[in-house]
Structure 1
Amino acid sequence: MTTTRTEGVCLPSYRTLPMLALAAPEIHVRELTDWVEHASIVRGGDAEQAGWEHAYKWLRLAQGLRTVVFDMSYDDGGMCAVGGDFDAVWSEMMEEWQLHLVRLGHLRAALEAFVRVLYPDGSQPPAAIERAERHLSYPLSGRPLHVKEVVEHLATHTMDQAGAPVSVESGMAQAIDVHRQAAHGLAGIPEPTDDGGMTVLPAGHNEICAAREASSAMLLGIQLMLAAAMDEGSVAVLDEDKYLLDGMWIPDLTSGSRWVDEEMPYSAYLALLHLAPGEPPEL
């Protein structure tokens, strides 16, 4: 029996756009962590400052996650070749799935820590995100770019109610549910499949995709909450600019995009940090 590595069958179109694509969670969290490092809560006392640092460290933990290693073999010395192929593919599947789930857990911890600092009245995360979303007045349908698509795609995995209003808050609720299912042992454990021709094929594409998109929804929720806090004046950014390294595409006022390869204020970058840089324009 042989093993075959196949591309995941679940790759939303907003991740493959030539420009203005949604960044992968590991890149998204890196940029969000960098932004938080250059910002600070400006109201309250030592307890609030400590809470802000605590939330930041949870983001740093999510940002620092690189790999999760699994070995699903029994290692009993008597494994046949077929069983060895199965366990090797299963190990790779578990590594990818659990990598996204572990990151999702860290992001939920960061979210709840930020909620406690920014909404000390005891609001729960979905309610806090809904309040932030209601407070802001984004020019593009009231939401950051791609959030509608992320929420709608995540709903295909969580079996959310069809026709429900699309919002960052609803995406947040779905993301929390993905984490809850795994944390409480309710999520099914995917296993590789056999195509009948002595070939072991990886599976679990839907589970992996759900965990990945839930992480993006969680990040977008934190991002929106920080934007509302900055608009309210409870969070301020330092007087430093974000250097865009090799540049990136950003939305323009005509619903298109433009290439920027210079510095921009961190306050402006908050609305863009979830976008993949993209390839520079041809000269």
Structure 2
Amino acid sequence: MTTTRMDGPCRPSYRTLSTLALAEPEDHVRELTDWVEHASARTGVPGAQDDWDNAYRWLRLAQGLRAISFDMSYDDGGMCSAGIDFDAVWTEMMEGWQLHQVRLGYVRAALEGFVRLLHPDAAKPGPAIEAAEQKLQHHTDAWPLHASEVAEHLCTHIPDRVASAGGSIAAGVVRAIDLHEKAVQGRVRIPEPVADADAKIFPAGHAEVCAAKEASTVVLLGIQMLLAAAVNENRVAVYDDKYLLDGKWVPDSTGGSRWVDEEMPYRKYLAVLHLEPGEPPEL
């Protein structure tokens, strides 16, 4: 089978930094799930904790998602080698793409749950996230690093029908939800492998995979914004400290980074939980 890759996957710059890089979705959602486990709602509304726990369970489901298995083979008893190669490459493509699509559905469900709990008057998540952004615009220490860049990158994959809101996280969340809705309604194009002049089969659909991946990420960042605003308003209580077992790079006040290898209050950890730990500094 010939599966040499061409036109490699989309890799936004915020995922390739030597320090303060954005973590992969599976690591990002694990850390956010851990954070939510160490917090609770303070709304005083009957059933609020049940709503919080249900949103947590959706995150827990997303955190537990490891792989999706496909078999796109169509064996009619007379397939040529190129056809077999095509189905094998397509299988691998679908496993990666659908992994992000399914995770997107889970994290969206968690977001919707937190919005219903913290913003019961909001008909959709977009306005709730926008309100959180406005409340945090003067609290730079609570603003997740790269959040605006993720929203901007997602906009390159999912152009809006109206004027762009720049790096607004709310705009990114709206696009992510739109992508999920289109997939549910069967209006998303399913990518297929491509062949070259020698009939060699190569994976394709890199833009579709990246869009689903970054959509999940921007929804997770939207949840962080929503929770950060609620923490600042004392509507969400956070317990304990986060013990950074292997250490982590976090932004410092000068725009650079500093290495932390001790405990960090969960309240502060919310703004950096989505970052790759990185390699420790040389002694």
TM-aligned CA deviation for residue 123 of structure 1: 3.5
TM-aligned CA deviation for residue 178 of structure 1: 1.3
Kindly report which structure 2 residues correspond to 1:246-265, keeping only aligned pairs within 5 A, or say none.
246-265=246-265
Kindly report which structure 2 residues correspond to 1:1-283, keeping only aligned pairs within 5 A, or say none.
2-5=2-5, 8-140=8-140, 143-160=143-160, 164-238=165-239, 240-283=240-283
Aligned residues: 282
TM-aligned CA deviation for residue 140 of structure 1: 4.0
| Partners of 2:7 and 2:166 in 1: CA distance | 32
| Partners of 1:138 and 1:277 in 2: CA distance | 26
**Runs of 5+ in structure 1 lacking a partner?**
none
Does structure 2 retain, via aligned residues, the 8 Å contact 1:143–1:167?
no
Tell me, what secondary structure is at the counterpart of 2:101? helix
Letter in 2 for 1:205: H
Tell me, what secondary structure is at the counterpart of 2:255? coil
CA RMSD of aligned residues (A): 1.7
TM-aligned CA deviation for residue 241 of structure 1: 1.1
TM-aligned CA deviation for residue 4 of structure 1: 2.0
TM-score normalised according to structure 1 size:
0.95
Letter in 2 for 1:207: E
TM-score normalised according to structure 2 size:
0.95
**Runs of 5+ in structure 2 lacking a partner?**
none
| Partners of 2:138 and 2:203 in 1: CA distance | 41
Letter in 2 for 1:34: D
C-alpha change, 1:144 and 1:175, in structure 2 (3 Å) is: same
| Partners of 1:228 and 1:8 in 2: CA distance | 38
| Partners of 1:7 and 1:91 in 2: CA distance | 18
| Partners of 1:53 and 1:208 in 2: CA distance | 30
Tell me, what secondary structure is at the counterpart of 2:259? strand
C-alpha change, 1:185 and 1:131, in structure 2 (3 Å) is: same
| Partners of 1:236 and 1:21 in 2: CA distance | 28
Does structure 1 retain, via aligned residues, the 8 Å contact 2:89–2:202?
yes
Percent of aligned pairs sharing the same letter = 63
Tell me, what secondary structure is at the counterpart of 2:176? helix
| Partners of 1:8 and 1:29 in 2: CA distance | 25
TM-aligned CA deviation for residue 5 of structure 1: 3.8
Tell me, what secondary structure is at the counterpart of 1:258? strand
